[in-house]
Amino acid sequence: MDGASPPHVVTDDGLQLPLALTPARGAHGDRVLYGTRPEHFTLDASRGAGADVIVAEPTGSETQIAARFAGRT
């Protein structure tokens, strides 16, 4: 890249969420729905913004986690 910030979405409260490096179809100022898949999350206290875990529920081979991230569940 040419020094510009990587593509991202900014939430109403200022949180920046990354986008894939492929061009986004929206325009600056458009409202969007930002979706993620659970397998794209990792628990790593040494990177990025933190989250407060509210509930961790083991379900056999997986664990369901409810967390508050940037003040939202």
User: How far, in Å, are 17, 33, 41, 59 from residue 51 at the CA level?
Assistant: 14, 20, 11, 21
The verdict on pTM exceeding 0.95 is no
Residue 57 has what pLDDT?
93
Residue 36 has what pLDDT?
78
Residue 1 has what pLDDT?
44
Are 51 and 69 spatial neighbours (Cβ–Cβ below 8 Å)? yes
Residue 32 has what pLDDT?
82
- pLDDT (tens digit, 9 = 90+) per residue, 25-56? 778 888 888 877 777 777 666 766 677 889 99
Look over the chain and give the mean of its residue pLDDT values, rounded to a whole number.
77
